[in-house]
Amino acid sequence: MSEDSAHFPPVDPVKTGVRGCCPRCGQGKLFDGLLSLKPRCAACGLDYSFADSGDGPAVFVILIVGVIVIGSVLWLEVNYSPPIWLHILLFAPLTIMLSLVALRWCKGILIAMQFRHNAREGRISSD
């Protein structure tokens, strides 16, 4: 049994990832700013150097936000046929805001899942 499980009860990776909290204790903050990680948790001292979400969050965000925005653009065009400037005025800020929020959430969730499953780069576990 690892030392972490004895001192810190398991936390839900989705809830802590969306809130941007530490994947071990669920109390400290994971992010320093919008998308950059803090060096360590202020509450439990967990070193975040293990965290490498890579391009995974960006792929999910592109797929999810793309479906939402393009579906909305097509629906608006088919039903109301507004001018192109209205599409740009509506959907450019929506795309940027949805992408930033979803990228932070996805990055937090993937880092929390990485911690929970003890995933490390270049290591294959036979557990």
User: Does position 1 have pLDDT exceeding 60, yes or no?
Assistant: no
Total structural domains within the chain: 1
Residue 122 has pLDDT above 50, yes or no: yes
Q: How far apart (Å, rounded) are the C-alpha atoms in residues 57 and 107? A: 5
In a domain, 125, yes or no: no
55 is a domain residue: yes
What percent of the chain is predicted at pLDDT more than 90? Answer: 76
Indicate whether 122 belongs to any domain.
no
Average pLDDT over residues 24-40: 93
**Under 8 Å CB-to-CB from 32, ≥6 apart: which residues?**
38, 39
Structure token pair of residue 41? 């948790």
Report yes or no on 15 lying in a domain.
yes
- Averaged pLDDT for residues 81-93: 97
By residue range, what is the domain housing residue 112? 3-116
